[in-house]
Amino acid sequence: MQLLLITGPAGVGKSTLCWEIGRQLEARQIAHAVIESDELDRVFPKPSADELDRLRPGTTDVSTINLAAIWSTYKALEHTRLIMSGVMMHLEFDRRWILAAIPDAQITVVRLNASEPALLARVARRETGAAAEDQALRSLRQAKRLAGQSPDGVILLATDDRLPSELAEIVLDRIGWFGSAREDS
C-alpha cells in the first residue's frame, strides 16, 4: 500500500496539488483514492478518550479510527494508492497514527513550502471574515516551524510561481507512480 502524504502550512496548496495529482492519475487510468486529513476529525463535540477506546482499544484520536474505516473500503475495492494531505506539524507522531490506521502503508512525504508573500496571498484568497487574519498568522507560524525541520526522506517542494500541473508531474515522477497504467486498479 503506497501512501503519498502531502504536507505543509495552511494555504500552501496541499489540497490543490492533491486534486491535480488525482486528475493526472485518472487521465492515465491509475487507480487511487484521495483523503483530506482535516476531515477525519472535524466533529463536535470531540469524542472522549473512553469513547475512542470503546470503539478501538488503545486509540486516542478519532482520525485513526476514521482513516482505518475509510481505507478499509478502498482496500476492499483493491486500491493500493492513497493520496492524503494535512499540515502535519509533528511528522513522526503523524506517521504513527497513520500507520495505526493502515499498518502496511509505505509513506512517502512531500512537504510544500512557499514564500511569505505567496502564502499570505493564498490565505487571503481562501479565507474571509474575522478568521482571515488569524489564519494568516497561523500559516506563517506553521511555515516558520516547518522550515526549521528537515526530516530525512522528505521531498521538499517550493510552490512559488509553479502551476499545480507542474508540481504534480514533479511529484509523480519522483515517486514513480506513472509506471504502468491500470497496474492495480
Domains with residue ranges and CATH for the chain: 2-170 (3.40.50.300)
Rounded to two decimals, the pTM is 0.89
Q: Please give the pLDDT value at position 124.
A: 84
DSSP 184: T
Tens of pLDDT, residue by residue over 14-66, are: 999 999 999 999 999 999 999 999 999 999 999 999 999 999 998 888 999 99
Q: Please give the pLDDT value at position 26.
A: 96
pLDDT of 129 higher than 90: no
Q: b vs e for 127-156, b when ≥16 Cβ sit within 10 Å of the residue's Cβ? A: beeeeeeebbebbbebbeebeeeeeeebee
How much is the average pLDDT of 140-160?
Answer: 88
* Higher per-residue confidence, 185 vs 62: 62
Beta bridge partners of 111: 7, 156
How confident is the prediction for the chain on average, in pLDDT? 91
User: Collapsing DSSP states into helix, strand and coil, what is residue 5?
Assistant: strand
| Strands annotated E in 86-178 | 106-113, 155-158
Which run of H or E residues covers position 164?
helix 164-175
pLDDT of 182 higher than 50: no
Asked if 91 contacts 154 with a C-beta cutoff of 8 angstroms, the reply is yes
| Residue of 126, 159, 154, 141 whose CA lies nearest to 12 | 159
How much is the average pLDDT of 81-97?
Answer: 94
Which run of H or E residues covers position 146?
helix 131-147
What's the length of the chain? Answer: 185
pLDDT of 180 higher than 60: no
Q: What is the secondary structure of 32-44 as a DSSP string?
A: -EEEEGGGGG--S
Q: Please give the pLDDT value at position 183.
A: 43
Q: Please give the pLDDT value at position 179.
A: 66
Beta bridge partners of 7: 111
Rounded CA separation 168/158 (Å): 12
